[in-house]
Amino acid sequence: MNNKLTRPITDEEIRTFQEDGVVCLRGFFDMDWVERLRDLIDEDIANPSGMVKSIDAKGASGFFFGDTFVCHHLDGFKDAVFNSPAARIAASILKAKKVNLLFDQILVKEPDTSTPTPWHQDYTYWPVAGDQVATLWLALDPVTFESGAVEYLRGSHRWGKKFLAISFDPDQKYEEELPEVPDVEAAREEYDIVSFELEPGDCTLHHGLTLHGAQPNRTPNVRRRAYIQRWAGHDVTYNPRPNLQKMLRDPMIPPGAPLDSDLFPVVWQA
């Protein structure tokens, strides 16, 4: 296993992230990581954590599986947090002096899964304030539009807007005073939508305010397994509010403080 970057992140890649709100980074994770994470995902599906939630739409075909804070559940994921190239990638793209892991996550769309991932911003789900918030989405299978590639609205992180979080979970309601996400699917041609066909080991980094969603997995036989990490840089502080996404536990840090804690560990610093 190797946590060194196979090459430095370029200024062009940082600029793309800053301007577009998403950048695609190919081949930073080798096949050892891919195969290990595939096995861990199958282990988690067979024996999920207490944070697992059903996210299949009602009456949907297939199986859309999600589990969060998985590095607290299976040690192999902890290894991927602390010893894979992910933290250095996130720090380089965010130009951060340190990065904290907010949480890690699995999202699997099995073949013939009809549930789309609704358009949303990540930021409004989480107890954070600050700009350096990003998600690393690592492909563990070949990903195409047909199999449910994530789509992004280019530059939407610079609209200066926060949108109400959409519930993936019937037990969870989000009630902040925020406008609803625009109905992108109803007028796709009006938006600048970007997505990437990925090979196993390729990843994307998107900003916490970038609007994104994903299609169903319409293939009859291609799994779409993703391992996802949520990162925060040095300008991010703890901003708890009512009705946010459930965190594994209270991080026991005061509002306004840096995130540094057992729950949101500093994984890399300069």
Ligand X SMILES: O=C(O)CCC(=O)C(=O)O
Smallest separation (angstroms) from ligand X to the CB of 184: 13
Residue 190 backbone phi and psi in degrees, to 5: -85, -10
Shortest Å, Cβ 121 to ligand X: 9
Spell out a b/e string for 19-40, using b for 16 or more CB atoms within 10 Å of the CB, else e.
ebbbbbbeebbeeebbebbbeb
CB of residue 226 to ligand X, shortest distance in Å = 5
- State the minimum distance, in angstroms, from the CB of residue 181 to ligand X: 12
Is 24 or 253 the residue whose CB approaches ligand X more closely?
Answer: 24
For residues 241 and 58, what is the distance between their CA atoms, to the nearest angstrom? 29
| For ligand X, the closer CB: 84 or 253 | 84
User: 226 or 263, CB closer to ligand X?
Assistant: 226
Min separation Cβ 111 and ligand X, Å: 14
Convert 85-112 to b/e letters by CB count within 10 Å (16 or more is b).
bbbbbbbbbbebebbbbbbbbbbbbbbb
Q: For the CB of residue 8, give the shortest distance to ligand X in the complex, in Å.
A: 25
DSSP string computed for 38-103 = HHHHHHHHHS--TT-EE-PPTT-SS-EEEEESGGGT-HHHHHHHHHSTHHHHHHHHHT-SEEEEEE
Give the nearer residue to ligand X in terms of CB position, either 231 or 268: 231
Q: Per the structure block, which two tokens stand in for 94?
A: 């965010």
End-to-end CA distance of the chain: 21
Strand duo 64-68 + 98-109: pairing: antiparallel
Distance CA 208, CA 233 (A): 12
Structure-token pair, residue 89: 């990638």
Q: Which CB atom, from 28 or from 137, has the smaller least distance to ligand X?
A: 137
Q: Which is nearer to ligand X, 157 or 212 (CB)?
A: 212
Q: Output 87 or 150, the one with its CB closest to ligand X.
A: 150
Shortest distance (Å) from residue 265 CB to ligand X: 20
Which residues of this chain interact with ligand X, rule CB under 6 A? 107, 117, 122, 135, 137, 150, 212, 214, 226, 228
